[in-house]
Amino acid sequence: MSVYLGPQLTIVLGDAASTKDAFLKQGDAFSGRPDNPIIEAIIKEIMTDYDTTSYNHGLVLSTGKLWKEQRKFALAKLREFGMGKVSLELKIKEEISILLVAIKATNGEPFDLQPLITTSVCNVICNIMWGNRFDHDDEQFKILMKALNDEFINFVSTGLLNFLPWLRHIPPYRKLMQDIIRNERLIFEVLKKNRDLHVENFDADNIRDFTDAYHNEIQIEKQKGCETTFKDDELLYVVWDLFLAGTETTSTTMRWAMLFMLKHQDVCRKVQAEIDDIIGRGRLPNMADANKMPFTEATIMEIQRLGNIVPLGAVHATSEESRKCNLEVNTIPDGECVWGESRPKMELFLFFTVFCRTSTLATDGVLEPSSFE
């Protein structure tokens, strides 16, 4: 189906066959991103000393050579610093233990789970990016968390602006843009501070984390003397994208998980029975347990399907090559928008199983925080 969103022709792939065809079989041709006038306007405001002529930065909204190079590097380094490995599993478990202590400290009083979960999830990313974690009551970190959360909510409301960018000068969008820019400044200050600290203490023989590895790559590229997309300021966009893409998505899915378990207590009890059977009460779960827990795995997948937190995925754009590409249905012209799907994570399994095991669901559907252990 195709539809004009403002002046932009947008093609919606509405069935599995054409989505597979576009994003799997012809991935390269459909890996572009459309122009994003709002991101461009924000970048111009916050990064006055960097290349502000383009929105083409970071991982999520970037395209072409920059996207390919940054994505390849980021994937390799995320793996090197733990993604999918036991080392990261241990870090996640450490965060879970600290989270449970924080929940227990609420002493049965009502509390908001959201900031606690987001802090834990964000700390996992902090660990990979900067090699450190922050305490739940660290004031600086609380400000960063709130800004991240607000940005996620604010960005959702900018959808229309991408198609009618002039609206950003008119209320209520003017206020929305001011809020976004204020938060972005705040976040970039924190990112810059951490980058600069890393650069000051950089030792090529001791690469501690993602930021060190990126700085090292900049030096290697400099020595080669060739044109490169690896730059000090590009690192800020890459790290920011990993925070944004990896924090809210996972923590929101976990909150959906809690809600669905409250609503479907019969399912929760089955998950608890499987946990008791495979993991027991004496230790934290391992990823190795997941294969033996089909009901729990299926429940997590169903939570992701129902929670549907990124319903339209990120908008893709066709690139030069796809001019010649035919999907089963028709040919998609160069530069047009295309929409697609998402995936599960290690964090979800570990957090979910611990939450299900340690919480008691009262018959009225209330989660009893005093039962967290």
Interacting residue ranges for ligand HEM, rule: CB under 6 A: 59-60, 71, 125, 241-242, 245-246, 249-250, 253, 309-310, 313-314, 316, 340, 342, 345
| Residue 248 Cβ vs ligand HEM, minimum distance, rounded to whole Å | 9
Closer CB to ligand HEM, 115 or 340, in the complex:
340
| Residue 204 Cβ vs ligand HEM, minimum distance, rounded to whole Å | 25
Cα(33)–Cα(62) distance, rounded to whole angstroms? Answer: 7
Closer CB to ligand HEM, 28 or 368, in the complex:
28
Closer CB to ligand HEM, 250 or 272, in the complex:
250
Q: Select from 336, 141, 149 the least CA-distant residue to 247.
A: 149
Rounded to a whole number of angstroms, the CA Rg of the chain reads 22
Closer CB to ligand HEM, 173 or 214, in the complex:
214
| Residue 60 Cβ vs ligand HEM, minimum distance, rounded to whole Å | 4
| Residue 64 Cβ vs ligand HEM, minimum distance, rounded to whole Å | 12
Cα(26)–Cα(20) distance, rounded to whole angstroms? Answer: 9
| Residue 68 Cβ vs ligand HEM, minimum distance, rounded to whole Å | 9
Closer CB to ligand HEM, 47 or 245, in the complex:
245
Contact between residue 367 and residue 361 where contact means Cβ atoms under 8 Å apart: yes
Closer CB to ligand HEM, 108 or 159, in the complex:
159
The residue number whose beta carbon is nearest to ligand HEM equals 246
Closer CB to ligand HEM, 314 or 366, in the complex:
314
| Residue 342 Cβ vs ligand HEM, minimum distance, rounded to whole Å | 4
Bridge partners, residue 273, by sequence: none
The total of other beta-carbon atoms located within 10 Å of residue 144's CB is 22
Residue type, 225: G
The total of other beta-carbon atoms located within 10 Å of residue 299's CB is 22
Closer CB to ligand HEM, 19 or 177, in the complex:
19
Cα(189)–Cα(195) distance, rounded to whole angstroms? Answer: 10
The total of other beta-carbon atoms located within 10 Å of residue 71's CB is 16
| Residue 106 Cβ vs ligand HEM, minimum distance, rounded to whole Å | 25
| Residue 205 Cβ vs ligand HEM, minimum distance, rounded to whole Å | 27
| Residue 2 Cβ vs ligand HEM, minimum distance, rounded to whole Å | 18
Burial of 169 (0-12, 13-18, 19+ CB in 10 A): exposed
- What 107-115 contacts at long range (C-beta under 8 Å, 24+ apart), as own/partner pairs, is 107/370, 108/368, 108/369, 108/370, 109/369, 111/369, 113/255, 113/258, 114/149, 114/251, 114/255, 115/142, 115/145, 115/146, 115/149
Contact between residue 218 and residue 54 where contact means Cβ atoms under 8 Å apart: no
Contact between residue 175 and residue 33 where contact means Cβ atoms under 8 Å apart: no
Contact between residue 125 and residue 243 where contact means Cβ atoms under 8 Å apart: yes
Closer CB to ligand HEM, 60 or 290, in the complex:
60
Closer CB to ligand HEM, 19 or 359, in the complex:
19
Cα(271)–Cα(352) distance, rounded to whole angstroms? Answer: 10
| Residue 242 Cβ vs ligand HEM, minimum distance, rounded to whole Å | 5
Contact between residue 33 and residue 314 where contact means Cβ atoms under 8 Å apart: yes
